[in-house]
Structure 1
Amino acid sequence: MMASIEAFQGPAASITIDDFAGCDRPLVIRGLVRDWPIVELARESDTAFARRLSELDNGTPVDTLLIPPGEDGLVGYNADLSGFNYEHHRVSLKQGLQRLAQYSREHSTAGLAIQSALISACLPGFVEQHDVSFLPPHIQPRLWLGNRVVTPAHFDEYYNIACVVCGRREFTVFPPEQVKNLYVGPLDFAPTGAAISMARLDRPDDPRFPKLREALKHAQQAVLEPGDAIYIPPLWWHHVASLERLNALVNYWWKPIMQGVPATHSARGFLLHGLLSMRGLSPAEKAAWRHLLDYYLFDSAHPAAHIPEDKRGILGPLTPELAEQLKQLVLKQL
């Protein structure tokens, strides 16, 4: 039996954003947004929930995936990995909700997923009544809405709090080191924008993915009800299954301000540049570079502690001015 994701200890009202600074494991936060008006409507009925979203919708097109019957609602690749198993459309939230209602009436097994819709752009009146009080206002919420769809295991490089507002969602999470057992697809060609696992969690005996069983030994799982939330640290793999005919989730992504400098640059660029510059090196060179990277980036000791503070150059405190200098140096290297 899979282990449960740990729950936040203490009342949800006592949480601050500092509780997540450096938190290295996922946490379930029961009832974090149970008092949101939209959650109360969802508890009343799917119809009441959908009607209120339609009233708030201003018609802005949002990214919508249509998954044909026979795919089990799984967002993924087609059979030969030449494309994806869905059609991509840009429609309004109201149109998406109308399609979901049609699927429900027809008992269709087709999947529909509205993904990462910026709420301030499509539901301008939503934020006034629905916010997470401990998150600063510049952290913009996004809406994920659909029927019984499954997003395979993937990771984000941001801190993430995801709040279930309608239906139920099952989260299965894996620590970052399980990347070696998850059979990740192409980094630059992924159905969700983020690279995904190609192994289905409900098919652990698939002979193409023999190491998946090892990954599942390290997995944790939780089902979230309307009003519940989950915190997911950066680079933790998470597989998300929507369990009802109508499901909705609001999430918040952010990066902390480090040493006074907003973390606006993507660490994913570091990975891509590493593929470009190091993949072709000899094993001895790779080993040597691993020592350098450990020393300058990953070890806890300060690599410039022996250098006078005013002579540390790009190894000094990361001020906005130094961040810009580093950016220009990287651009020159490219």
Structure 2
Amino acid sequence: MPAPIEEFRYDGQADALEQILGAERPLVIRGLVRHWPLVAAANVSNQAFADAVTAIDNGTVVDALLMPPEAEGIVGYRGEAEAFNFSHHRVSVTQGLQRLLQFAGQDDAPGIALQSAPVAHCMPAFLDSHVLPLLDAAIKPRLWIGNRVTTPAHFDEYHNIACVACGARRFTLFPPEQVRNLYIGPLDFAPTGAAISMARLDRLDDPRFPRLKTAMEHALVAELAPGDAIYMPPMWWHHVASLGPLNALVNYWWKPSQGEGLVPNTRLGGLLHAVLLFKSLPPAERAAWRELFDHYVFGDEDPAAHIPEARRGWLGKLDAAQSAKLLERIRQYL
């Protein structure tokens, strides 16, 4: 059985929350956003929540997924992964909420999910009245609204704090090393941009995925109610199930600064480049390159410790000029 995710109950301790941002383990933060007006509305009723959102919606259209009832609300593939099991639409947040309330009483309702809507674009008034106490105001939130929809296990390159504003969500998290046991689908044909697990957590005996049981032995799980939040470190696989007819989540992604001039969002590109360059090599060559990567990138020891600090170059701490020079060298190689 999955173990519970460690919990922290927020009572305004700003100093304690600073420790969360550097954590290497996920953490549930109970009551982090219970002061939000939308959370107060959600605690009254789904209709009250929808009315409160509609009052600050400016009508900008956002991405929405629509799944037929037979998909059982699980974002993924049809058949042998020949197509996705949903259609894309563009609707306003208010239009999405109206449809969700319309379907709320139906047992065979289609799956609906408004995905990753930039709050600053569609509900800018949210920003002043719904403050997250521990993040820089420059980190802008995104909105996720739907019914009983599940996003299978996937990972983000970013630090992530996800706050439940309405309904309930179950988070099942797996440490990065469980990738081999999660049966991840195509990297270049992913339903939501990030590659997802093709195995269902409610079907552990599926003979196609025998190692899924091993992954579940390392899983962590928590259910969040309105006002609760969860911190997820980069690269942790997370499976997110919405449990009611109306659910809303607001999340914040960020990357700490790691050197002036470094290009953001390139790590996944680095992985894909490595697949292209090294996957097809003979075993001996692949092993040799693995040693180099372990030495220069993933090892715990400093590979430049024996080099005079002034001569460490790209192996040392990079300033803006050095980062730009290294990027130009990479472009020349490419």
* Fold match (TM-score > 0.5): yes
Is residue 169–residue 240 contact of structure 1 (8 Å, CA) maintained in 2?
A: yes
Aligned letter for 2:142?
R
Give distance in 2, aligned partners of 1:262 and 1:278: 24
What are the equivalent positions in structure 2 for 1:145-160 lying under 5 Å apart?
Answer: 145-160=145-160
Give distance in 1, aligned partners of 2:193 and 2:318: 30
Shift of 1:36: 0.6
Task: Give the 3 Å change call, closer, same or farther, for CA 167–21 of structure 1 in structure 2.
Answer: closer
Partner of 2:195: 195
Is residue 10–residue 31 contact of structure 2 (8 Å, CA) maintained in 1?
A: no
Shift of 1:130: 0.5
Give distance in 2, aligned partners of 1:107 and 1:175: 34
Shift of 1:254: 0.4
Q: Deviations over 1:287-332 (max 9, x none)?
A: 1111111111112222112222222221221212222222212111
Partner of 2:99: 99
Partner of 1:327: 327
2:204 aligned with 1:204? yes
Give distance in 2, aligned partners of 1:129 and 1:97: 20
Give distance in 1, aligned partners of 2:153 and 2:47: 30
Give distance in 2, aligned partners of 1:160 and 1:24: 12
Shift of 1:125: 0.3
The aligned length equals 334
Q: Deviations over 1:25-80 (max 9, x none)?
A: 11000000011111000001111110111121111111100011111111000112
Partner of 1:300: 300
Partner of 1:243: 243
Pairwise CA RMSD: 1.6
What are the equivalent positions in structure 2 for 1:109-120 lying under 5 Å apart?
Answer: 109-120=109-120
Identity %: 56
What are the equivalent positions in structure 2 for 1:1-334 lying under 5 Å apart?
Answer: 1-8=1-8, 11-15=11-15, 18-260=18-260, 264-334=264-334
Is residue 12–residue 29 contact of structure 1 (8 Å, CA) maintained in 2?
A: no
Q: Deviations over 1:72-122 (max 9, x none)?
A: 111000112111000111111111111111212444421100010000000
Q: Deviations over 1:224-265 (max 9, x none)?
A: 010000000111010000001100000000000124566723
Task: Give the 3 Å change call, closer, same or farther, for CA 256–295 of structure 1 in structure 2.
Answer: same
Is residue 72–residue 109 contact of structure 1 (8 Å, CA) maintained in 2?
A: no
Aligned to 1:8, the other structure's residue is in SS state strand
* Unpaired stretches in structure 1, ≥5 consecutive residues: none
Aligned to 1:185, the other structure's residue is in SS state coil
Give distance in 1, aligned partners of 2:183 and 2:89: 28
* Unpaired stretches in structure 2, ≥5 consecutive residues: none
TM-score (norm 1): 0.96
Is residue 12–residue 30 contact of structure 1 (8 Å, CA) maintained in 2?
A: no
Give distance in 2, aligned partners of 1:265 and 1:34: 32
Task: Give the 3 Å change call, closer, same or farther, for CA 305–282 of structure 1 in structure 2.
Answer: same
Q: Deviations over 1:123-142 (max 9, x none)?
A: 01001011212201111100
